[in-house]
Chains A and B, each alone.
Chain A
Amino acid sequence: MLPITPYHYLVLSAALFMIGVMGVMVRRNIIIIFMSIELMLNAVNINLAVFSQQLQNAAGQVFAIFVIAVAAAEAAVGLGIILAFYRNKETLNIDEINILKW
């Protein structure tokens, strides 16, 4: 086994990102799509942490913390919208959430 370099982490991050993209594209359940977005954000966070360590600069971690804060805001509002929507339409399928009016 080779020593673990930042490239290993980057590949891991890319693969995780890819899984997230796949989830967004393939799944139709809006909650799953939200979770796939969270996966992608996590992949980004891994990247930031790796670069932070590589460059000996904590700013990368600060960015990761901002990402988490934004993810929290996104989850709160997004799930609020989902619930409000679900109350009216009784569906979570994103294909049926395409009319922007009800």
Chain B
Amino acid sequence: MFDTSELVINMGPQHPSTHGVLRVVLRLDGERVIDCDIVIGYLHRGIEKLCEHRDWAQIVLITDRMDYVSAATNNLGYVETVEKLMSVEVPARARYIRTILSELQRIASHCLWLGTHAMDIGAMTVFLYAFRERELVLDLFEEYCGARLTYNSMRIGGLPLDIPPGWDRKVRAFCDILESKVPEYEELLTQNRIWRDRTRGIGVIGGEEAVALGLSGPVLRGSGVPRDIRKDEPYAAYADFEFDVPVGAAGDTYDRYLVRMEEFRQSMRIIRQAIDGLPEGPIMGKVPRLIKPPAGEAYHAIESPKGELGYFIVSDGKSNTPYRFRVRPPSFCNLQALPRLIKGHLVSDVVALIGSIDIVVGEVDR
């Protein structure tokens, strides 16, 4: 209203709403954002380089640390890339369990997103409700592999462990619980007048522009592009299941929210089908004791909760470490849309948008 000059504000790296150590330098005109710079790298640990100095089996454990709220999908992407490089056939049971794990992971990751996103916009109860359900997923993971955050839950060629007895029943029970809880979240948010005012028309990005910016995952689908790697280039056991790919229309924060809420339901649908059709059989394919992929390169992408998580791995066929290891992290690529989305909105919308893009700084910086 009454402003005379631009104000430069440092949001982060220590700020409650930047989801980690992200630093956003905002240039403000009053409360309106004219421009913003994103400064990343505060959590850079050199994971890609680190992976080039570990042998193939050890790398699974490092991938856990990238998107640390979605470790299972990170594992999956890596092991499938190496399997592609080595042309290993993975047994059906292992593929089914992998699918269950990665969908559970999607639910956990979306719970975290929903909680923090709602919290950023001020609805703090949703945060605790979502974390309550995320806790159940973590319990399931703990029962499966003993860890609650960094699972190290997959192996090249299969899985380290079969599911514990009765675990499938618990997963099904969890799906029933979540089924009743998702409407609870929606009741608090979807029809809430304030929530809609805060998210509708905020950070609108059209489908073409979203593709041009290299966005992926729910951020892309919110703009109406029905791109889902699970559907388009099925991996694990996704080809065997029926599920819909929710897309938005307006490409604003509200549509991205709706897309993710629908993904909760689709994930439950996939998990139920996988549990029902879980085949018997071995959980490890035929892989040599010492893994040494033949010389060559492979790129393989999966649909992580945040978007297209791709691994590009080059093997020289001699050493027992990758020659080159490169990750295409969805958070990093989606984050570069932030300045485009923010421009012209208010400071309050910045936190809504950061939440809407759903970044994990561990993955952005690697």
Chains A and B in contact, CB within 8 Å: yes
Where the two chains meet, the residues of A that have a C-beta atom closer than 8 Å to any C-beta of B are 83, 86-87
4 contacts between A and B (CB under 8 A): A83-B2, A83-B4, A86-B4, A87-B4
Query: In the complex, which residues 1-26 of chain B have their Cβ closer than 8 Å to any Cβ of chain A?
Result: 2, 4
Q: Give the chain A neighbours of B2 by CB distance below 8 A.
A: 83
Contacts of A87 in B (CB 8 A): 4
Cα A83 to Cα B30 with chains together (Å): 14
Cα-based distance from A83 to B4 in the complex (angstroms): 8
Across the A-B interface, the 3 shortest Cβ-Cβ residue pairs: A87-B4, A83-B2, A86-B4
Which residue on A lies nearest to B5, using beta carbons? A87
A86-B2 Cα distance, complex, nearest whole Å: 11
A86: chain B residues within 8 A (beta carbon): 4
Question: A87 CA to B2 CA in the complex, in Å?
Answer: 10
Chain A residues near B4: list those with CB within 8 A: 83, 86-87
Per DSSP, are chain B's interface residues mostly helix, strand or loop, or mixed? loop
Binding site for A on B (CB under 8 A): 2, 4
A102 to B2, CA, bound (A): 21
Q: Which residues of the other chain, B, contact A83 by a CB distance below 8 angstroms?
A: 2, 4
Number of residue pairs across A and B with beta carbons under 8 Å? 4
Closest Cβ of chain A: how far from B29's Cβ, in Å?
12
Q: How far is the CA of A87 from the CA of B4 in the complex (A)?
A: 6
A80 closest partner in B (C-beta): B2
Smallest Cβ-Cβ distance to B4: which chain A residue: A87
Q: How far is the CA of A86 from the CA of B3 in the complex (A)?
A: 10
A87 to B5, CA, bound (A): 8
A10 to chain B, nearest CB (A): 39
Q: Which residue of B lies closest to A86 (CB)?
A: B4
Q: How far is the CB of A45 from chain B (nearest CB, A)?
A: 28
Rounded to whole angstroms, the CA-CA distance of A83 and B2 in the bound complex is 8
In the assembled complex, how far is the CB of residue A48 from the closest CB belonging to chain B, in whole angstroms? 32
- How near does chain A come to B354, taking the closest CB pair, in angstroms? 32
Which residue of chain B has its CB nearest to the CB of A83?
A: B2
A31 to chain B, nearest CB (A): 14
Q: Which residue of B lies closest to A88 (CB)?
A: B4
- Nearest CB on B from A75, distance (A): 13
Bound together, the chains give a CA A94 to CA B310 distance in angstroms of: 65
CA distance A87 to B3 in the complex (A): 9
In the bound assembly, the distance between CA atoms of A38 and B4 in angstroms comes to 25
Closest chain B residue to A79 by CB distance? B2
Residue of B nearest to A87 (CB): B4
- Complex Cα distance A87/B30, Å? 14
Inter-chain CA distance A86–B4, complex, in Å, is 8
Tell me the bound Cα distance from A87 to B29 in angstroms: 13
CA distance A48 to B151 in the complex (A): 81
Minimum distance in angstroms from B112 CB to a CB of chain A: 45
Chain A nearest CB from B123 CB (Å) reads: 37
In angstroms, Cα B6 to Cα A87, docked, is 12
For the complex formed, measure the closest distance between the CB of B352 and the CB atoms of chain A, giving whole angstroms: 30
Give the CA-CA distance A19 to B4 in the complex, in Å: 31
Nearest residue, chain B, Cβ from A90: B4
B30–chain A nearest beta-carbon distance, Å:
13
Distance in angstroms from A82 CB to nearest chain B CB is 10
Give bound CA distance, A30 to B4, whole Å: 17
Min CB–CB distance B135 → chain A (angstroms): 53
Question: Chain B nearest CB: distance from A90 CB in Å?
Answer: 8
Q: How far is the CB of B6 from chain A (nearest CB, A)?
A: 12
A93 to chain B: closest CB distance in Å?
Answer: 16
Report how far A86 CA is from B5 CA in the complex, Å.
10
